[in-house]
A and B are shown apart, each in its own frame.
Chain A
């Protein structure tokens, strides 16, 4: 039925990437291009007292300097709404350089534009800025006393508390309880391409080449902040060097680039430096989580209490929601999840790959492992026994697969026969252990109607368009596959065009929703055009297909034929040429189900890991990982595998390497480069395998596609921590699990 969807097709943008010819947003050649550089505040709390520009202006090559004294006021106060919602999506409800107040270290206080990158950097260093510093509060340790209960999360779209049953009563009555507290260091996305925006004005209209995960979000946000019509803002994004959430929201530099270009009357490229990327595009916030499980001796969960405390900015109630999975992946009548916030001197945190679920699941899945040991049960059987057929509202899953993922993973990994006793396997100086975790990631239908256009020319060649952007997710390839199958043409005659707000609307590809949204719209556009072409043929007296019922016409390789007699038919090109139609096109749209659809909506998976822990030095190395996932229909297994594998290795980094903390004296992030903020390198990579469990889903769109962008990370760190326990007998209560954490017994507990 489907000739290319589901096939492991190579990336169609591969040649552009391996030859270096693909143009990223900081590589656009424009005449007269100027180079902008943000100057970040050197205090984390306080006020700008003075800015002396004399030396900077004298340095040569400077076209303009913007500070709070001359930066235009934004037309609308930014409001924090996730970009998936299809509205203006500033990363924080604060816009810098509007007054002299400094809320966080690195907050933009000036912007220098010059004729070269070097000149801008030199002039920026010569700006003489004095501050009236206040005492920063930016850590849990310093702000704990000021913590307050959050009311809503995600810009008001999610309640911060989730309660049902009588959790305290159930815990008091539980035959077995597990109680654990965790501390998680902050994470930074660090895509290899830092965020960059190139802005060019033409009269009242501005074009932005913006490294974004959503061209529409950039357009909506910039138009709102500048107070100009959407039709005057065009955003183009053909290649993006990774996002991972850092480019999901639209941060101040995007609008500042447009302002700067207007200020100097030239096109401006504004790129974040690597150190600036630690203070300019959000982060995964420092957080503490506590979980208490109650269960019967038979293993049935009777109570889950899951609380989170984290640091947000002075102006936003942001927390990545920790309890979205713990409230539903295992059935439990008595539940309490809540979020407490400390408003401190940081920028607003943001989505970071598997936002909420990666750490929320770490807490839940390591607690489940503790429970399995308490009960003397196999951790896989404990999970399967507690995984319900319905979600926390009693709605059936749109599709499940969790138990199958655990079982298939156990087979692939070689779980059977595992001696659960901790600390029993040693090889040389290494203690060896294995661990498992469940995984789930929500399918979030909060986006508006999605659009795509399919257009065929009279020579049979095809263009499929949506405004989607390619940041490594493979959308260019998978949508070419979907379009080709929908229209019934070979992929070779089809070009997928995207990354431009002039094209039909799709929402930001975030929250693992990109493939679902885009494939649904593209599929509908392509099949609509196919149906239109068939209708044209059967109504065309000169067509060999004249008079047939449309349902008795099939299409393959651009040729319509009778299902009864394949010798009767004609190509799309013949039809169009005979009728002197230069082209035909169709707009496809897809309206997502409401958030209140009566279905449980999660993508499920299972994670397995084997670790070697240096018995004296506490250094953990992962030797093997296995992940099995049930993401509905897999459009391209080669690309889906890559994304899931990437997520799993992000989990490895989160487990062992990645963590940042704020210096309490200055309020500055301690680590601000890739030499010290450690992400995995080639040598960290274990043997790793990814497999799929097929589940059919007719709720999540016409093709039944759930996302693969984030679920690969969920549970990966937990499986590693559970393996460390198996190896050492020590429970890990802190991430990352660095040598001293392991040596000292696992952290605060």
Chain B
């Protein structure tokens, strides 16, 4: 079957496979970069925007180290094409601390020693903050279940749970 692009409505909107300009909105700033369509959001962040806080643990959607927010919801940047992110707001760990002041979740992770090697940590924190926003942290079992997409091979899990509880309870004013 021949490709008949002349009749395809898509004709004018086809992009790639070579690199083309893309506009990404990351942490409130707009970045215009040239990317091929095959580049994931994760690689765009790490290799093209030099935002290496978002980690590559598996590139397969099985570890959660690459967790970022798209329009406020946590997603895996390794399974998201950068092209699909145009027009959406991306938030990464680099945007969490404000004016040099750590987010309470970041401070709680330090205080509770909620990491060792630190490689899963940005993803854990992006998930943990979203978890509280989602309202999925009412019980210890809720926290454990809804954080399970973020693997910590150092097994800092009990300390991560403690950090999340602390921030949750402070948010509640308790």
Chain A residues with CB under 8 Å of chain B are: 10-11, 13-24, 26-27, 29, 116-118, 189-194, 239-244, 271, 273-274, 471-474, 638-639, 641-643, 645-646, 648-650, 673-675, 679-683, 685, 688
Q: How far is the CB of A741 from chain B (nearest CB, A)?
A: 23
A116 to B52, CA, bound (A): 16
The answer to whether A645 and B155 touch across the interface, beta carbons within 8 angstroms, is yes
Cβ-closest chain B residue relative to A118: B38
Q: Is B134 part of the contact surface with A, judged by Cβ < 8 Å?
A: no
In the complex where A18-B115, A118-B38 touch, is A674 in contact with B60 (Cβ < 8 A)? yes
Cβ-closest chain B residue relative to A650: B155
Q: How far is the CB of A15 from chain B (nearest CB, A)?
A: 7
The answer to whether B151 and A681 touch across the interface, beta carbons within 8 angstroms, is yes
The answer to whether A193 and B117 touch across the interface, beta carbons within 8 angstroms, is yes
Q: Is B138 part of the contact surface with A, judged by Cβ < 8 Å?
A: no
Show 17 residue pairs from A and B whose CB-CB distance is below 8 angstroms, ordered by the A residue.
A14-B109, A15-B102, A18-B102, A19-B94, A19-B96, A26-B56, A118-B43, A193-B117, A241-B57, A242-B117, A243-B117, A244-B153, A645-B156, A645-B159, A646-B155, A674-B60, A674-B151
In the complex where A116-B47, A192-B57 touch, is A18 in contact with B52 (Cβ < 8 A)? no
The answer to whether A682 and B161 touch across the interface, beta carbons within 8 angstroms, is yes
A128 to B123, CA, bound (A): 37
**Residues of chain A with a CB closer than 8 A to B151's CB:** 192, 674, 679, 681
**Residues of chain B with a CB closer than 8 A to A191's CB:** 117, 119, 153
The answer to whether A19 and B102 touch across the interface, beta carbons within 8 angstroms, is yes
**Residues of chain A with a CB closer than 8 A to B52's CB:** 20, 23-24, 27
Q: A16-B118, A118-B43, A675-B61 are in contact. List 8 more A-B contacts (CB 8 A).
A: A18-B107, A18-B121, A20-B94, A192-B119, A473-B116, A645-B159, A685-B144, A685-B158
Q: How far is the CB of A120 from chain B (nearest CB, A)?
A: 12
Q: How far is the CB of A237 from chain B (nearest CB, A)?
A: 12
Q: How far is the CB of A459 from chain B (nearest CB, A)?
A: 24
In the complex where A193-B117, A274-B60, A649-B155 touch, is A10 in contact with B145 (Cβ < 8 A)? no
Cβ-closest chain A residue relative to B17: A60
Q: How far is the CB of A112 from chain B (nearest CB, A)?
A: 16
The answer to whether A117 and B43 touch across the interface, beta carbons within 8 angstroms, is yes
A192 to B150, CA, bound (A): 10
Partner of B118, one of A10, A13, A116, A646: A13
**Residues of chain A with a CB closer than 8 A to B60's CB:** 274, 673-675
A639 to B159, CA, bound (A): 11
A679 to B58, CA, bound (A): 13
In the complex where A118-B38, A193-B57 touch, is A682 in contact with B148 (Cβ < 8 A)? yes
In the complex where A117-B43, A191-B153 touch, is A17 in contact with B115 (Cβ < 8 A)? yes
A648 to B154, CA, bound (A): 11
**Residues of chain A with a CB closer than 8 A to B36's CB:** 116, 118
A116 to B37, CA, bound (A): 13
A685 to B141, CA, bound (A): 10
**Residues of chain B with a CB closer than 8 A to A23's CB:** 52
Cβ contacts B72-111/A at 8 Å (1 or 0 each): 0000000000000000000011101100001000110111
**Residues of chain A with a CB closer than 8 A to B118's CB:** 13, 16-18, 22, 239, 241, 472
Q: Is B70 part of the contact surface with A, judged by Cβ < 8 Å?
A: no
A18 to B58, CA, bound (A): 20
**Residues of chain A with a CB closer than 8 A to B121's CB:** 17-18, 20
Cβ-closest chain A residue relative to B47: A117
**Residues of chain B with a CB closer than 8 A to A648's CB:** 155
Chain B residues with CB under 8 Å of chain A are: 36, 38-39, 43, 46-47, 50-63, 65, 92-94, 96-97, 102, 106-107, 109-111, 113, 115-122, 125, 141, 143-145, 147-161
Q: How far is the CB of A90 from chain B (nearest CB, A)?
A: 24
**Residues of chain A with a CB closer than 8 A to B154's CB:** 242, 472, 642, 646
A674 to B56, CA, bound (A): 13
Q: How far is the CB of B55 from chain A (nearest CB, A)?
A: 7
In the complex where A192-B57, A192-B65 touch, is A643 in contact with B110 (Cβ < 8 A)? no
Cβ-closest chain A residue relative to B127: A682
Cβ-closest chain A residue relative to B48: A116
Q: How far is the CB of B41 from chain A (nearest CB, A)?
A: 13
Partner of A19, one of B106, B144, B158: B106
Cβ-closest chain B residue relative to A638: B113
**Residues of chain B with a CB closer than 8 A to A193's CB:** 55, 57, 117, 119
The answer to whether B116 and A474 touch across the interface, beta carbons within 8 angstroms, is yes
**Residues of chain A with a CB closer than 8 A to B50's CB:** 29
The answer to whether A680 and B116 touch across the interface, beta carbons within 8 angstroms, is no
**Residues of chain A with a CB closer than 8 A to B149's CB:** 681
The answer to whether B39 and A118 touch across the interface, beta carbons within 8 angstroms, is yes
A645 to B26, CA, bound (A): 36
The answer to whether A27 and B46 touch across the interface, beta carbons within 8 angstroms, is yes
**Residues of chain A with a CB closer than 8 A to B143's CB:** 682
The answer to whether A673 and B159 touch across the interface, beta carbons within 8 angstroms, is no
Cβ-closest chain B residue relative to A60: B18
Partner of A682, one of B54, B92, B107, B160: B160
Q: How far is the CB of B158 from chain A (nearest CB, A)?
A: 6
In the complex where A15-B102, A679-B153, A683-B145 touch, is A274 in contact with B46 (Cβ < 8 A)? no
The answer to whether B113 and A639 touch across the interface, beta carbons within 8 angstroms, is yes
A184 to B55, CA, bound (A): 32
**Residues of chain B with a CB closer than 8 A to A673's CB:** 58, 60, 62
The answer to whether A685 and B157 touch across the interface, beta carbons within 8 angstroms, is yes
The answer to whether B53 and A190 touch across the interface, beta carbons within 8 angstroms, is no
Partner of B144, one of A24, A473, A682: A682
**Residues of chain B with a CB closer than 8 A to A17's CB:** 115, 118, 121
The answer to whether B55 and A192 touch across the interface, beta carbons within 8 angstroms, is yes
**Residues of chain B with a CB closer than 8 A to A27's CB:** 46, 52
**Residues of chain A with a CB closer than 8 A to B113's CB:** 10-11, 638-639, 641-642
A649 to B157, CA, bound (A): 9
A22 to B119, CA, bound (A): 9
In the complex where A117-B43, A191-B153, A682-B160 touch, is A20 in contact with B122 (Cβ < 8 A)? yes
**Residues of chain B with a CB closer than 8 A to A681's CB:** 148-149, 151
Q: How far is the CB of A501 from chain B (nearest CB, A)?
A: 21
The answer to whether B120 and A192 touch across the interface, beta carbons within 8 angstroms, is yes
**Residues of chain B with a CB closer than 8 A to A639's CB:** 113
In the complex where A20-B54, A241-B117 touch, is A680 in contact with B122 (Cβ < 8 A)? no
The answer to whether A642 and B106 touch across the interface, beta carbons within 8 angstroms, is no
**Residues of chain B with a CB closer than 8 A to A650's CB:** 155
The answer to whether A19 and B157 touch across the interface, beta carbons within 8 angstroms, is no
A680 to B151, CA, bound (A): 8
The answer to whether B111 and A471 touch across the interface, beta carbons within 8 angstroms, is no
Q: How far is the CB of A352 from chain B (nearest CB, A)?
A: 12
The 9 closest A-B pairs by CB, nearest first: A20-B53, A241-B119, A17-B118, A472-B117, A472-B116, A649-B155, A14-B110, A27-B52, A20-B93
Cβ-closest chain B residue relative to A27: B52
A20 to B92, CA, bound (A): 9
Cβ-closest chain A residue relative to B105: A18
**Residues of chain B with a CB closer than 8 A to A473's CB:** 116
Partner of B119, one of A19, A116, A242, A688: A242
**Residues of chain B with a CB closer than 8 A to A274's CB:** 57-60, 62-63
Cβ-closest chain B residue relative to A35: B47
The answer to whether A688 and B158 touch across the interface, beta carbons within 8 angstroms, is yes
A643 to B158, CA, bound (A): 12
The answer to whether A683 and B144 touch across the interface, beta carbons within 8 angstroms, is yes
The answer to whether A18 and B110 touch across the interface, beta carbons within 8 angstroms, is yes
Cβ-closest chain B residue relative to A18: B106
**Residues of chain B with a CB closer than 8 A to A18's CB:** 102, 106-107, 109-110, 115, 118, 121-122, 125
A15 to B54, CA, bound (A): 15
The answer to whether B39 and A240 touch across the interface, beta carbons within 8 angstroms, is no
The answer to whether B110 and A192 touch across the interface, beta carbons within 8 angstroms, is no
Q: How far is the CB of A209 from chain B (nearest CB, A)?
A: 13
**Residues of chain A with a CB closer than 8 A to B148's CB:** 681-683
The answer to whether B62 and A675 touch across the interface, beta carbons within 8 angstroms, is yes
A17 to B102, CA, bound (A): 12
Q: How far is the CB of A8 from chain B (nearest CB, A)?
A: 8
Q: How far is the CB of A302 from chain B (nearest CB, A)?
A: 39
**Residues of chain A with a CB closer than 8 A to B117's CB:** 191-193, 239-243, 471-472
